[in-house]
Amino acid sequence: MIAGAELLPVSTPASTNPTNEVARALTGRDYISWSAISTFRSCPLKYWFRYVAGLPEESVSAALVFGTGIHAAIEDFYRAELAGEAKPDVEQLLFAYRSAWLPHDPEAIQFASTDTRASLDVLATKMLTAFIKSPAASVQGRVLGVEEEIRGTLVEGVPDLYGRIDLVTEDSDSLVLTDFKTSRGKWSTEQAEDASEQLVLYSKLAGELAPGKKLVTRFLVLTKTKEPVIEEHLGEVRTDRVARTVTSVERVWKAVEAGNFYPAPSVVGCASCGYRKACEGWRG
């Protein structure tokens, strides 16, 4: 929770948005999330399997579990900062990283041809060591929240958007919304711009966290390279970008509401999908 409850945004209560009940009837949730939106955009049938039918995935990619573990470790680092505690060392961060593997059946984890659990553990150690030594480990300003929940109505006719912001900080003139990412290599400016939709939407709901302050999006990218690099990509929230992204979400929801579920074959997406067998058996 953000320090100081009065800083929380005033979100529209779930009961006042009638579309929330449509979402609940369809998916069991009275909201939508960015993960759900992204899933539908990549493959509408995968959305149906996961959010409507509620099917468990047959497998999970090691890359996803690895990213979740690194994410958990970085969260723990900033939670210590928020609590005013000593900064965790690499071993403490690795404990959080390793914990992310525990819920998964080892037999259901799909590794890339060049990866093993041991090789990924070595990489995690390098990445977290690089993070601790990087400028990102010294917070600029004040930490307001870690994995901060946010919810509100984006546009009429669409369920509330619910999400979690990885890190919220403020300095003298800006409120900064940070998303943690792992990547095979360095990001370009274009990649950061393309990935900014989630934070752009959150910014629309976060405006009351710090009235009068400029809203800034930030990606903290940890590369999975031989010598890991810690990158920071900052961006200002543009009104036109917000409007475009909200319109995209509105169109996605209308397609979900209309039941437009169909497979979207992809060399990259299908290879790591946990619904391959279910997809093969789908007949419409």
Would you state the structure tokens that stand for residue 131, as one six-digit string?
A: 């993070």
pLDDT at 53: 95
User: 8 pLDDT band (50/70/90 cuts)?
Assistant: very low
Please indicate whether residue 96 or residue 207 has the higher confidence score (pLDDT).
Answer: 96
Residues 149-199: tens digit of each pLDDT = 999 999 999 999 999 999 999 988 899 999 999 999 999 999 999 999 999
Q: Which domains does the chain possess?
A: 13-21+29-271 (3.90.320.10)
CB 65, CB 100: distance < 8 Å: yes
pTM of the model: 0.89
Residues 102-151: tens digit of each pLDDT = 999 999 999 999 999 999 999 999 999 999 999 999 998 999 999 999 99
Please indicate whether residue 56 or residue 268 has the higher confidence score (pLDDT).
Answer: 56
The Cα–Cα gap between 270 and 211 comes to 44
SS3 content of the chain, % helix, strand, coil (to 5): 45, 20, 35
Please state the rounded mean pLDDT for residues 42-46: 97
Please indicate whether residue 272 or residue 46 has the higher confidence score (pLDDT).
Answer: 46
pLDDT at 93: 98
The Cα–Cα gap between 56 and 260 comes to 21
User: 15 pLDDT band (50/70/90 cuts)?
Assistant: low
Taking alpha carbons only, the member of 141, 143, 225, 122 closest to residue 183 is 225
pLDDT at 238: 87
Would you state the structure tokens that stand for residue 97, as one six-digit string?
A: 């990283």
- Is a pLDDT exceeding 60 seen at residue 262? yes
Taking alpha carbons only, the member of 4, 140, 137 closest to residue 76 is 137
Residues 209-234: tens digit of each pLDDT = 667 888 999 999 999 999 999 999 99
